[in-house]
Amino acid sequence: MTVLCFFLVFMNVDLFLKTGHCAETRDQILSITPKTQEQVDLLKNVSTQYETSLWQPVSPQYIREEAQVHLFVPANSSETVKDLLQRHAITHEVLLANANELVEMQMRNDSTDPRSSSTFYERYHSLEDIYDWINRTTHDNPNTVKAILVGSSYEKRPLYALKLSLNDRPNKKAMWIDCGIHAREWISPAFCLWFVHYSLSFYKQNADITHILDNMDVYVLPVMNPDGYKYTWTTNRMWRKNRSLSKRSACIGVDLNRNFDANWCTEGASHDPCTEIYCGAFPESEPESQAVADFLRSHKDSVQLYLTIHSYSQMLLFPYSCRLDEAENHSDLLEMTQEAAQQIKRYYRNIYKHGAGAKTIYLAPGGSDDWAYILGIKYAFTFELQDLGRYGFLLPPSRISRACNEALLAVKVIAQRVLEKT
C-alpha cells in the first residue's frame, strides 16, 4: 500500500487522496474517544512517544475516558499510530484527511497573491506582513493610532501594541486586548487585526463601537508571541509556546499562558520544559509575559478591561483558572459572558460556552487573565474562538470573517457592560 501511495502521489493522482486512500502520505487530524483506562494510557503514550501533536486536550495528563481527543498525526507517523490504535481496538475518526492542503491554503493567501480574491482581513498573515500592517496603520492614522513598543521577544523581535484613541476626552478608561500568546492559534492575531480595522472603519458609523471608543482607549497587541508565530510559518505549524531555550533541557519554549504570577506552576502547569504547559523557570521569566505585565502594572489605573484571545473551542472564560473558588464579582462576570454568548447565538447561531476557567475547562494556573484580575483589573476574560474541532487550529481563511464577527460582538457586549459599571 505504501509503495503504491508514493507512486500515486508522485504521479499526482489526486483521486486517491480525495477518496481517502493513501492517507498515509498526508498529515491528518484524528478524533479518538478512549473508552477504558487502558485506552487512556495508550493514548497518553502515543501522544508523547510519537511525533504527533496533541490538539485537545492541551496536555496528555488531561486525557480521560469518554472525552474526545484531537490528535495531529504527521504523515510519517501515520501508519505506526493507526496500527497501534487498531491493535488496541481503539476506533478513530478522521477529522481532516489532508491537513497539508489546509496548511498550504492558509499560507498561500499571504500578501498580494492574485489567486486570492478575499480581502486583507480575511486572510492569515506572516509576521513580516503584520509588522508592515502595524506601520501602515499608524502611518495612515497619525491622529488616532500610535504604536507603543512594550518590550521585545526572546529572539529580540519588537512587541508593538497599538493604542487606539479616537476621541480626546480627558481621563478616559481603557481596555487591553492581546492576541497570539499561543503560536498556532492563527485566528487570534487575525482577530486583533480585524478589531483594529473595524474600530477605525466604523467609529461614527456603528453606535456600539462609537460609544465604546468615545469612552475608552484600546491597546491592541496583535502578536504577543512573535517568535512562536514566526516558527509556525516556517517550521512547525503546530507550535504553541514561545522559543526560549532552557538551561536544564534541550526542549524549547515556555507556555506564556502559564508564566504569569497567579498560583504559578501549581496543578495544571508543569515544571518539565518538554511539555506544552511548561511554566518557565519562575513567574515572568519570559520577556513576552514580562512586557505585558509591566505595561499593565504601569497602566492599571486606566485599564478596566483585559481581554486575551485564543482558539479553539468557542468559550468565553473569566477568572479564576488558577483556583477553584469564585472570583469576588463572579456573578457580574457570568452575566456578561452569558449575555455575550446569547447574542452570538442569536445573530450567528453558534454556541459559546461560558464560565470561570477552572470549572469550565481545567485548572490552568499562571494565565494572563487571572494575573490581570489579581492585579486589580476586575473585568478579565479569555476568549477561545472558533471552531469546535472540525478544523481546530487550521480554521480555513473563508471562516475568518464569521469567527471574528462573533468575537467582536462579544467584545462589544462586554465593553458596554464594563462602561456601565465603572
Interface positions, 217-246, toward ligand ARG (CB under 6 A): none
Among 340, 364, 403, 415, binds ligand ARG (CB under 6 A): 364
- HSE toward the beta carbon, residue 206, CA cutoff 13 A: 13
Positions 43 through 102 that interact with ligand ARG (CB under 6 A):
58
In the set 284, 288, 384, 406, the catalytic residue is 384
58 binds, among Zn ion, ligand ARG, none (CB under 5 to 8 A by kind): ligand ARG
Q: Considering the complex, what minimum distance in angstroms separates the CB of residue 57 from Zn ion?
A: 12
- Contact pick of 24, 27, 369, 387 for ligand ARG (by CB under 6 A): 369
Binding site for Zn ion (CB under 5 A): 182, 310
Nearer to Zn ion by C-beta: 241 or 310? 310
Looking at residues 292 to 311 of the shown chain, list those that interact with ligand ARG (rule: CB under 6 A): 310
In the bound complex, what is the minimum distance in angstroms from residue 79's beta carbon to ligand ARG?
31
Which of residues 70 and 310 has its CB atom nearest to Zn ion in the complex?
310
- In whole angstroms, how close is the CB of 296 to ligand ARG at the nearest point? 14
**Does 382 sit near ligand ARG (CB under 6 A)?**
yes
Q: Please, are residues 52 and 73 in contact by the beta-carbon 8 Å criterion?
A: yes
Query: H helices of 315-421, where?
Result: 330-348, 357-360, 368-375, 400-421
Task: Rule CB under 6 A: say whether 321 interacts with ligand ARG.
Answer: yes
What is the distance of C-alpha 56 from the center of its chain?
Answer: 13
Residue nearer to Zn ion on the CB measure, 161 or 224: 224
In the list 286, 370, 387, 406, the residue contacting ligand ARG (rule: CB under 6 A) is: 370
Report, in Å, the least distance between residue 349 CB and Zn ion.
25
The stretch among 28-36, 94-102, 337-345, 363-371 that binds ligand ARG (CB under 6 A) is 363-371
How far apart CA 260 and CA 118 sit, in angstroms, is: 38
Residue whose grid cell is 459599571:
421
Can you tell me the distance from the alpha carbon of 341 to that of 339, in angstroms, rounded to the nearest whole number? Answer: 5
Residue 367's binding partner among ligand ARG, Zn ion, none (Cβ under 5 to 8 angstroms by kind) is ligand ARG
**What b-and-e string marks burial along 184-217, b requiring 16 or more CB atoms within 10 Å of the CB?**
bbbbbbbbbbbbbbbbbeebeeeeebbebbebbb
Indicate if 93 belongs to the active site. no
Q: Which stretch binds ligand ARG (CB under 6 A): 88-96, 195-203, 327-335, 365-373?
A: 365-373
DSSP state of 30: E
208/415 Cα distance (integer angstroms): 9
Distance of CA 300 to the CA centre of its chain: 24
**Residues near 406 by Cβ (< 8 Å), separated by ≥ 6?**
344, 348, 350, 352, 385, 386
CA distance 289 to 283: 9
3-state secondary structure of 355: strand
Which listed range, 31-39, 110-118, 338-346, 367-375, lies at the site for ligand ARG (CB under 6 A)?
367-375
Q: Sheet with 28-32: list strands edge to edge.
A: 53-56, 69-73, 28-32, 92-96
- Binds ligand ARG (CB under 6 A): choice among 175, 183, 317, 415: 317
In degrees to the nearest 10, what's the CA dihedral of 99, 100, 106, 108?
Answer: -160
Q: Which residues contact 335 (CB under 8 A, 6 or more apart)?
A: 417
The entry of Zn ion, ligand ARG, none near residue 364 (CB within 5 to 8 angstroms by kind) is ligand ARG
Cβ 55 to ligand ARG shortest distance, Å: 11
The interface partner of residue 412, options being Zn ion, ligand ARG, none and the CB cut-off 5 to 8 Å by kind, is none
Residue 357 CB, nearest distance to ligand ARG (Å)?
4
Q: State the binding partner of 321 from ligand ARG, Zn ion, none, CB within 5 to 8 A by kind.
A: ligand ARG
Residue 354 interacts with, from ligand ARG, Zn ion, none (CB under 5-8 Å by kind): none
187: left (phi over 0), alpha (psi -120 to 50) or beta: alpha
Burial of 51 (0-12, 13-18, 19+ CB in 10 A): exposed
Among residues 137, 257, 275, 386, which is the contact residue for ligand ARG, using CB under 6 A?
257
What number of residues does the chain have? Answer: 422
Q: Is 386 in the site for ligand ARG (CB under 6 A)?
A: no
Minimum CB–partner distance for residue 251 and Zn ion (Å): 19
Please return the burial class of 340, using the count of CB atoms within 10 Å of its CB with bins 0-12, 13-18 and 19+.
buried
In the complex, minimum distance from the CB of residue 369 to ligand ARG, in angstroms, rounded to a whole number: 5
Maximum Cα–Cα distance for the chain, whole Å? 71
Residues acting as catalytic residues:
384
Contact footprint for ligand ARG (CB under 6 A) = 58, 257, 310, 317, 321, 357, 364, 367, 369-370, 382
